[in-house]
Structure 1
């Protein structure tokens, strides 16, 4: 039977950008849909006040900061764990930016100024590359 997993990220509060009103709610609603309607086995939730994630015996902070999201993508998606026919969804609600012809997701602590984007934002290509590693 196919496995269905997802990551949901919703960020309302930013250190260096305007606050959003509904991003966290959007991520929580998507998590609820994936779990309750679509029957997903696992949904990782990263929001302003989501609880800690325990995955395969490893605890992960669930705050949507640069370090937390980078660490999770690096550790969780380092090796294949899905098979043909399995699905992994990525949902993001929050600020994003295009800089130097690349698209970036902006974590809660990202710096939108030109000298800070590449050091504090998550390149979208990194997310897709890590998701490809899962199978």
Structure 2
């Protein structure tokens, strides 16, 4: 929940009712957006996702997929086959999120060189 203080400035309350803390911080971790965008093209299997997201460990992929499933962004389907086949895909909520986040991802891509240069300049002061 966002409130205002006496001078009209926003105050971000430490509460599950605050959408920034409850939702945005959750998907703003190191891996969630990469996983979501890896699923934009359709359902995929665990090992395929792992091979397409460089640097993610099996444990972190498992944990992040569970969190995304818990939040309703990803659907996990287990097929009764031998060996067991499991696929992950975006839910409608997840598709809506990726559409909403696409502007930020595009902006980051466009301005990445500027940001890296600013960091370099800052670090060299």
Alignment TM-score > 0.5, same fold? no
For the superposition of Structure 1 and Structure 2, which TM-score range results when normalised by the shorter chain?
under 0.3
Greater relative contact order (CA < 8 Å, ≥ 6 in sequence):
1
The TM-score, its normalising length taken from structure 2, stands at 0.27
Larger helix share, 1 or 2: 2
Normalised to the residue count of structure 1, the TM-score between the two structures is 0.26
- Of structures 1 and 2, the larger Rg is shown by 2
**Greater strand percent: which structure?**
1
